[in-house]
């Protein structure tokens, strides 16, 4: 997709630093790890770290629906999956496919009960401007960089975020830990977090009715659990795996 010419010295230094960070986070040791990291970076740059955050933090109105954590969980994971698939394409204009998905005002968000218009009303112009500017910038660098270097470049906005999100190397361990805790098998977790979990409240019945199905959806397609159920998981320590290193 990109040009074969070398990047300038400053960009190359930044890419070398980014590769080192990705190596430290085991991105290169998992299947499609770099593509997932780039997908996360794209979603953060084009969508998550933009005007939608203002809608997320604002109170609902007679025209704008509440954009709670569960809705954002569903939306962000679904868009990350779409970004991953876009990066699988050889289409010269593949990033603009992602732009179309992000800015579609009529599609009902999977796992949610509303559209971009419903959840982003009052911020739609800013969301559109932000997404288009970011996509144009990314498209410029995609033309300039070799394919793997572009994936490293695209992953950069993700640095500093949690490294255990959907699709990332530690996500399967997080999901496995949550399933284990929901089955009541992690005594250490319940000793440490029991009081906090009491304040959070019991898991929704739809989550506990079939833990095997819940585990599979969390692993592969969290949005299928629905925004209401995902709201229980958002910021919940039950979905965090113990770190194996200090």
User: Does position 149 have pLDDT exceeding 60, yes or no?
Assistant: yes
Tens of pLDDT, residue by residue over 182-206, are: 999 999 999 999 999 999 999 999 9
For residues 136 and 79, state if they share a domain. yes
Query: Environment class of residue 176 by beta-carbon count within 10 Å: exposed (0-12), middle (13-18) or buried (19+)?
Result: middle
Q: What is the arithmetic mean of pLDDT over 34-41?
A: 96
For residues 130 and 176, state if they share a domain. no
User: Does position 25 have pLDDT exceeding 90, yes or no?
Assistant: no
Q: Which residues, 6+ apart, have CB-to-CB distance to 8 below 8 Å?
A: none
Say how far apart CA 109 and CA 157 lie, in whole Å.
24
User: Does position 7 have pLDDT exceeding 70, yes or no?
Assistant: no
Q: Which residues, 6+ apart, have CB-to-CB distance to 35 below 8 Å?
A: 84, 87, 88, 151
The answer to whether the CB of 66 falls within 8 A of the CB of 75 is: no
Q: Is residue 145 part of a domain?
A: yes
What per-residue confidence (pLDDT) applies to 242?
A: 74
For residues 122 and 224, state if they share a domain. no
Report how many domains make up the chain: 2
Tens of pLDDT, residue by residue over 71-126, are: 999 999 999 999 999 999 999 999 999 999 999 999 999 999 999 999 999 999 99
The answer to whether the CB of 187 falls within 8 A of the CB of 74 is: no
Say how far apart CA 63 and CA 61 lie, in whole Å.
5
Give the domain-ending residue among 114, 129, 158.
158
For residues 39 and 154, state if they share a domain. yes
Tens of pLDDT, residue by residue over 155-174, are: 987 775 667 899 999 999 99
Q: Is residue 166 part of a domain?
A: no
What per-residue confidence (pLDDT) applies to 4?
A: 45
For residues 80 and 179, state if they share a domain. no
Give the domain-ending residue among 129, 158, 187.
158
Give the domain-ending residue among 128, 158, 188.
158
For residues 38 and 152, state if they share a domain. yes
User: Does position 34 have pLDDT exceeding 80, yes or no?
Assistant: yes
For residues 137 and 177, state if they share a domain. no
- Range of the structural domain that residue 179 is part of: 171-239
Place of tokens 């997404």: 131
For residues 234 and 121, state if they share a domain. no
For residues 67 and 91, state if they share a domain. yes
User: Does position 245 have pLDDT exceeding 60, yes or no?
Assistant: no
Q: Is residue 150 part of a domain?
A: yes
Closest C-alpha among 109, 112, 97, 133 to residue 231: 112
The answer to whether the CB of 153 falls within 8 A of the CB of 18 is: yes
For residues 33 and 154, state if they share a domain. yes
Say how far apart CA 211 and CA 225 lie, in whole Å.
12
């Amino acid at each position: 997709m990109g040009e074969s010419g070398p990047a300038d010295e400053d960009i190359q230094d930044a890419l070398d630093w980014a590769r080192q960070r990705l190596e430290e986070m085991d991105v290169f040791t998992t299947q499609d790890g770099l593509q997932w990291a780039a997908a996360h970076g794209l979603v953060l740059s084009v969508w998550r770290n933009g005007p939608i955050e203002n809608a997320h933090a604002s109170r609902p109105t007679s025209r704008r629906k509440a954009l709670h954590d569960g809705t954002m969980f569903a939306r962000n994971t679904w868009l990350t999956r779409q970004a991953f698939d876009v990066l699988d394409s050889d289409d010269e204009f593949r990033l603009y496919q992602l732009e179309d998905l992000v800015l579609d005002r009529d599609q009902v968000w999977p796992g949610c009960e509303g559209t971009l218009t419903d959840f982003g009303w009052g911020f739609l112009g800013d969301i559109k401007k932000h997404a288009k500017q970011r996509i144009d910038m990314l498209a410029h660098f995609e033309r300039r960089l070799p394919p793997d270097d572009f994936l490293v470049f695209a992953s950069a906005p993700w640095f500093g975020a949690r490294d255990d999100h959907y699709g990332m190397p530690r996500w399967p361990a997080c999901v496995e830990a949550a399933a284990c805790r929901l089955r009541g098998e992690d005594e250490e977790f319940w000793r440490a977090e029991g009081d906090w979990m009491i304040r959070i409240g019991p898991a929704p019945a739809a989550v506990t009715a079939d833990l095997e199905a819940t585990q599979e959806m969390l692993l592969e397609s969290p949005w299928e659990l629905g925004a209401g159920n995902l709201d229980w998981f958002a910021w919940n320590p039950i979905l965090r795996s113990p770190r194996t290193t200090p």
